[in-house]
Amino acid sequence: MKISEIFQDRARVFSAEVFPPKRDGNLEALFQTIEDLKALGLSYISVTYGAGGSTREMTLDIATRLIATGITPLVHLTCTGHSQDELRSLLSRLKDAGIENVLALRGDPPKGESKFVPSAPDGFRHASELVNFIRKEGFPFCVGVAGYPVKHPEAASPVSDMDHLKAKIDAGAQFVVTQLFFDNSDYFRLVEGLHRRGVNVPVQPGIWLLTDFKQVDKIASLGVGLPGDLRAKLEKMKEDPEAIRESGVEFAAHQCADLMRNGAPGVHFYVMNKSASALRVHANLHAMGLGH
């Protein structure tokens, strides 16, 4: 099923992101997590792949298995590491495998590079070019793109960042999944800015589930940052992993509830291939009357 149709059919769309296992390629452990996540009533699962397509084959294997188990996959596709011919071939394979949805991304700069440079002479520099390519080549995919409630680290300003997002939608993207954020006002500012630009596609907020203190510095490196009161609270309990997980669940549940009560079309969980916190957040939402 196309995700654009899912947003039309359902008042609240719950979804999650998983990634191919990096160490031993153990797909069975991943699919046990996916089996556990079914309790969330997921509308779709997005599947990433490594820089330069390093886990591309495993990503395709995961996506086809998801289809076989009745779950709609959203396959990540990046500009990084691909010529136009390679992209055309990959898109054809995805289509032949029965995949209907792709998330078009620029991707991170190649390893060792501080700025993004296409790895092929005809490679793309922007996700908007990739979206345009998919449309011009006539592929029938439903295409999603990433949005940044807290501006992309490389963007000159929040305004230019929003203009780039509009360019991706103008090129043919049909929905947006956001990068993580912790201040809901950032999300609502993004949605309102798009509305002022005449953009009305679904913007699904991406929710990060805090599970350990090490994530605090990782999140800061993404340019997102935590609200001061939340960081101070976590600082006090950094030697107590269970307390941090509990606080992460509590914060995410209230964050999601506020988002959906104020118009967000559901939430997208960054679960890091784990199910426990997402299941607890969803249970809390269900208790608030905001589940399925």
Active site residues: 17
Nearest Cα neighbor of 246 from 232, 264, 234 is 234
DSSP structure class, residue 119: S
Query: What's the gap between Cα 267 and its chain centre?
Result: 10
Q: Which amino acid is at 38?
A: K
Cα gap 128→268, rounded to integer Å = 22
Nearest Cα neighbor of 199 from 172, 166, 164 is 166
Q: What does the angle CA 282 – CA 260 – CA 234 come to, to the nearest 5 degrees?
A: 60
DSSP secondary structure, 118-177, as one string: -SSTT--SSHHHHHHHHHHTT---EEEEEE-SSPPTT-S-HHHHHHHHHHHHHTT--EEE
Q: Which amino acid is at 265?
A: P
End-to-end CA distance of the chain: 19
Specify whether the CB–CB gap between 19 and 160 falls below 8 A: no
Angle between helices 158-170 and 184-196 (to 10 degrees): 60
Phi-psi region of 25 (alpha: psi -120 to 50; beta: other; left: phi over 0): left
**Helices of type H across 79-157:** 84-96, 127-136
